[in-house]
Amino acid sequence: MDKFTKYGWWVLIIITLVLGFWIYAKQENQSIQSKYPTKEFTETKTRNYGAEFYCEDTSNVGRTECLIEKLDRASAIREWKQRKIEMLKHPEVNMYNLITFLPDEVAKMKKWREDFENSRDEGCDVEWSFRGGSGVPGAIAECELNYEISALKILDKVYYGTILKDTFDSKGIPDFEPKEKDIEKLMESNKTERGCVWADDPACE
């Protein structure tokens, strides 16, 4: 066996190994990408929550009922997203590219979620202090809904803007956006307590 043939075999073996590793890495990457969502959600695709939770009714009764329903829906989506970020782990977010510590950041989200509804309700009650009349229940519900919409915008900014965009090589949370069945389940377990809204309400008896 001459020198060229001997080295030629070694070159062929090395090329085969490199090619095999490249094919394996490509298949592994495709498998990961199929599990996690793509990062195509940009500022141009931001959800229009104002339109999504808009109520057309002009009467106090119809508007208040609509706002309460929209409030429950927004609250369910907000809680779902808070919990998903609260349970965030590597490689959903690339912890090695974070400047801060992951446990500290998810702890902030948990505290925010646990205190959220009390803070929301108290703030809206204060905003409508010293007021009365049939329009107040709807106004309070609208105030609470606006709190929820603001929170949803923050959550989307944290997830799509920071976790996916600014923290390089994060894979993302596969189910960050809840499905309809998830929303309905949370809405059923966290319904808003309407209380006494109009004179003929059963709750007013």
Question: What would the pLDDT profile of 67-85 be if each residue is shown by its tens digit?
Answer: 999 999 999 999 999 999 9
Beta carbons of 70 and 55 less than 8 angstroms apart: yes
Angstrom CA distances, 88 to 92, 107, 139, 172, 204, stand at 7, 10, 35, 9, 44
Instruction: Name the 3-class secondary structure at 182.
Output: helix
| Cα–Cα distance, 8 to 1 (Å, whole number) | 11
Torsion 103-109-113-116 (CA) sign: positive
pTM: 0.75
* Per-residue pLDDT reduced to its tens digit, 158-193: 999 999 999 999 999 999 999 999 999 999 887 776
Amino acid symbol at 148:
E
CA atoms within 13 A on the CB side of 108: 7
Query: pLDDT over 90 for what percent of the chain?
Result: 58
The number of angstroms, rounded, from the C-alpha of 26 to the middle of its chain's C-alpha atoms is 30
Determine phi and psi for 56, rounding to 5 degrees.
-85, -25
